[in-house]
């Protein structure tokens, strides 16, 4: 899988299993991507820019951490005894 962040940053090789760790009806990675999009309020025109200009690598590091946590959580959950 590939995540396109902008015109010059594309992340390849994201394991499909990452999308199996869900927070509600979305994967953790999808949730973070949605939260870190630049959004403009249609009524007010206020721009929500969650990216950090002082730390350009922040988003990349965050995505890497979310991928790791998702994969490790799936391993833990799969190792739990089944209820029943």
Environment class of 70 (CB within 10 Å of its CB; exposed 0-12, middle 13-18, buried 19+): buried
Angle at 49 between CA 46 and CA 53, to 5 degrees: 140
Q: What is the largest CA-CA distance in the chain?
A: 53
Percent of the chain with pLDDT over 70: 92
Percent of the chain with pLDDT over 90: 35
Q: Do 11 and 59 contact (CB within 8 A), yes or no?
A: no
Provide the pLDDT confidence category of residue 66 given band limits of 50, 70 and 90.
very high
Q: Where are the domains of the chain?
A: 3-78
Q: pLDDT digits over 9-35, tens only?
A: 778 888 999 999 998 899 999 998 888
pTM for the whole structure? 0.74
50-74 mean pLDDT: 86
pLDDT at 25: 93
């Amino acid at each position: 899988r590939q995540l396109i962040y902008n015109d010059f940053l594309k992340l390849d090789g994201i394991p499909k299993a990452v999308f199996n760790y869900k927070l509600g009806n979305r994967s953790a990675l999808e949730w973070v991507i949605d939260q870190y999009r630049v959004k403009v309020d249609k009524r007010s025109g206020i721009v929500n820019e969650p990216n950090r200009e002082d730390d350009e690598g922040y988003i990349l590091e965050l995505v890497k951490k979310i991928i790791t946590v998702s994969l490790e959580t799936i391993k833990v959950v799969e190792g739990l005894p089944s209820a029943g």
